[in-house]
Structure 1
Amino acid sequence: MAKGKPKNAFYAQSGGVTAVINASACGVLETARKYPKKIGKVYAGRNGIIGALTEDLIDTSKESVAAIKALRHTPSGAFGSCRYKLKSLEQNKREYDRLIEVFKAHDIGYFFYNGGGDSADTCLKVSQLSETLGYPIQAIHVPKTVDNDLPITDNCPGFGSVAKYIAVSTREASFDVASMAKTSTKVFILEVMGRHAGWIAAAGGLASTQDTEIPIVILFPEVSFDKAKFLATVDANVKKYGYCTVVVSEGVKSPDGKFLADQGLKDAFGHAQLGGVAPVVASIIKEGLGLKYHWGVADYLQRAARHIASKSDVDQAYAMGKAAVELAVKGKNSVMPTVERVSSKPYKWKVGVAPLNKVANVEKMMPKDFITDDGFGITAKCRTYLEPLIQGEDYPPYKNGMPQYVRLKNVAAKKKLGEFKL
């Protein structure tokens, strides 16, 4: 960045939010305030990249030190998120011209985009504005996704807390169904997120340990659903233990490659709109085995559960935001800070860095050696990988029995340009 008056920064949150994405926002904002000679104001995009396109910018300098600090223990997206993917420059030059127009009007030279795979792609495209359209911008991607499917980084901020929630919920629900199994429910089905990668479903396997054995069947997106084999496994568990718990990923597919839960709808990114696989599996169990069941869908609960967030996850989310700013002030562009695992026992990690062109549009699936040979469980290697990510508690402050979360003022910056229709 050229010498002189410090350039302002733009920060935005994208895609599905997490219990710790605001911790990354806290890391960005607190760190940026430590470099007043390098970074001027930090504007946040209201509802992600849409905020940049519509010039709906939030002036974070209006927020107190205490409010910014409280973001670390507040779930969801403090500035609003969106599912909006920029098309290529060739397909929609109009949007890129608009971004430059907004960046120029507000003297923005830094772009921090906090999200998953599609967000990494958007960030990569923005980072190329310097070369293609001659506007100096440093774009740094801040990793976030409950799906844990970003490449290169050992794990993704947001995942550890979801994994902890699912592991705990699976154990607690299993205790419940076990107590009722003699005369009532025999099977409990828990539906979790995960379109193509079964990382979240795998976390359900952590509920069963040597000292607390639980019969758990996991249905991964990476393993084609075998109805007969599945029913036989559930039946065997019920006969042996009296009950069985099933953790099913929303992205489980039938042998013909179709999602079991495909509703025929699409989301804003053009992906199949999933949800509702638990009742599908429940009906298969009822028809095939005649067993009484209950099912639940973790849905937003799993990614909003800040009250049971993993301390490892909170620390890493903050560290990624902090590192993004430090990379920017060092002149880096088109990169993403990463989590590098140094050791699993004891758990140690450090901050690394990855080029965005190696991150964007690449999904990290569950390795084959993380899934047991029968396709229904996690291996010891997977457990070694997962367990450190759910370690530690980082409770938010409570008042009258309820967690105290911050609501920012989100004062809008004065607009300088005309309207822009998406």
Structure 2
Amino acid sequence: MPKNAFYAQSGGVTAVINATACGVIETARAHPQEIGTVYAGAHGILGALQEELIDTAEESAETIAALRHTPAGAFGSARYKLKGLEENRAQYERLIEVFRAHDIGYFFYNGGGDSQDTAHKVSRLGEHLGYPITCIGIPKTVDNDLPGTDSCPGFGSVAKYIAVATREAGLDVASMARTSTKVFILETMGRHAGWIAAASALAREEEGDPPHVILLPEVPFEQQRFLERVRASVERFGYCVVVVSEGVRTADGGFLSDQGSRDAFGHVQLGGVAPVVAAMVKEGLGYKYHYAIADYLQRAARHIASATDVEQAYAMGRAAVELALAGRNAVMPTIVRESDEPYRWRVGEAALEDVANVEASMPAEYIDDSGFFVTEACLRYLRPLIAGEDYPPYVNGLPAYARLRRRLVEKRLPAFEA
């Protein structure tokens, strides 16, 4: 009998993470002699710990195909970090117990650096406990900060959303600037890497077009230099559009938007840097301003997803299954860029131990000398990632997304408190 598979979504979701799920499930279904049922974790890894396994065999082929154009996490995701093997071995042993109880031989974990670390630890522990489990990490993060891969599924669609929003909001501000708002500030996600904010630069076609200032985590924030840049833009163009990453830091390393709390992964809780920057503009320059915080809107915007991103997200899911069937373990499929123009890429492979808990920032050569914009090399990197449209079907004027049955299999083990 073929072994079953377990698939889980982890961390913040994206516009295309379900396209990866679609790739995993459809590819597994094409190999019934090698893989039995694909179970999905209800709310990520919690589904395995609490033995809440969604039976994807209960979903029709049409529903699974519709995942490709459905945003967010169809099976539920979670910000839940498993501690180290020495700190909490019981949780890892519980995973192996659940896998054993449901004859699961394949573990596909779709997430960022923390998730790749978990998949790596499970692969080691399964072998140690006498229940070998094939563990394949699948890249996903809007922050685009996983090493070993040219880009991360989820980023291209966020980048497209932010570039479009910057262009459209910029036109709005320009049209009203003489008698109304002079400064518009758009806050993006991006804890340690400024990729999302940098993507706003794609909105600029000619000199004077927005964005006029991009604030990146890689460049220490200096208030006076920033205000001088804003003043110069208003005096020259009549207005200023600022795009700021939530992870912008001061020279001493402190976050401008530190809320004083931490998330489930132990990361400083960020958000709300736009009003902080807006207050500086008001107090330092006296300009009328508006600000917007893209927040979940940027990562949920499947209606304007990048076709490149959708294709790559699906390909990573398919490749994960193919790697498992080829006997690979403790690896992650990657995107390898072969050329910029024309854009060509292929599927590669990275060891989980090399990508676990590692964050990749923007390279210095992608940031211009002023620190307030990006270079042409950065734009060449970004352009193909937002290319193409992959619109979902519309019904009555709204996108029609997949709705799953989400039927759970019968539990076979005692309850476990995660």
Short-chain TM bin: over 0.9
| Residue-by-residue CA offset, 1:79-104 (whole Å, 9 max, x unaligned) | 00001111121111111221111111
2:93 aligns with: 97
1:64 aligns with: 60
Superposition TM-score, scaled by structure 1 size:
0.98
2:192 aligns with: 196
| Residue-by-residue CA offset, 1:162-210 (whole Å, 9 max, x unaligned) | 0000000000000000001000000000000000000000001111123
2:71 aligns with: 75
1:305 aligns with: 301
Paired AA for residue 383 in structure 2: E
Task: Give structure 2 stretches of 5+ with no counterpart.
Answer: none
Sort the Cα spacing of 1:283 and 1:106 in 2 relative to 1 into closer, same or farther, 3 A: same
Paired AA for residue 265 in structure 2: F
How far did 1:215 drift? 4.7
1:230 aligns with: 226
Paired AA for residue 341 in structure 1: R
Q: Contact 1:6–1:40 (CA<8 Å) still a contact in 2? A: yes
Paired AA for residue 325 in structure 1: V
| Residue-by-residue CA offset, 1:326-349 (whole Å, 9 max, x unaligned) | 000111100000000011101111
How far did 1:131 drift? 3.1
Q: Contact 2:96–2:126 (CA<8 Å) still a contact in 1? A: no
Q: SS where residue 415 of structure 2 aligns?
A: coil
Hey, what's the Cα distance between the residues in 2 that align with 1:90 and 1:118? 16
Task: Give structure 1 stretches of 5+ with no counterpart.
Answer: none
Q: Contact 2:68–2:310 (CA<8 Å) still a contact in 1? A: yes
Pick aligned residue for 1:246 from 214, 237, 242 = 242
Paired AA for residue 28 in structure 2: A
Q: Contact 2:166–2:210 (CA<8 Å) still a contact in 1? A: no
Q: How many residues in Structure 1 have an aligned counterpart in Structure 2?
A: 418
Pairing of 1:341-380 with structure 2 (within 5 A):
341-380=337-376
1:9 paired to 2:19 = no
2:22 aligns with: 26
Paired AA for residue 175 in structure 1: L
Sort the Cα spacing of 1:212 and 1:71 in 2 relative to 1 into closer, same or farther, 3 A: farther
| Residue-by-residue CA offset, 1:53-74 (whole Å, 9 max, x unaligned) | 0000000000000000000000
Pick aligned residue for 1:86 from 82, 88, 92 = 82
How far did 1:255 drift? 1.7
Hey, what's the Cα distance between the residues in 1 that align with 2:127 and 2:4? 20
Sort the Cα spacing of 1:317 and 1:215 in 2 relative to 1 into closer, same or farther, 3 A: closer
1:338 aligns with: 334
Paired AA for residue 112 in structure 2: G
Pairing of 1:158-173 with structure 2 (within 5 A):
158-173=154-169
Q: Contact 2:208–2:237 (CA<8 Å) still a contact in 1? A: no
1:43 aligns with: 39
1:205 aligns with: 201
Q: SS where residue 239 of structure 1 aligns?
A: helix
Q: Contact 1:263–1:274 (CA<8 Å) still a contact in 2? A: yes
Superposition TM-score, scaled by structure 2 size:
0.99
1:264 paired to 2:260 = yes
Stretch moving more, 125-134 or 341-350: 125-134
Q: Contact 1:215–1:237 (CA<8 Å) still a contact in 2? A: no
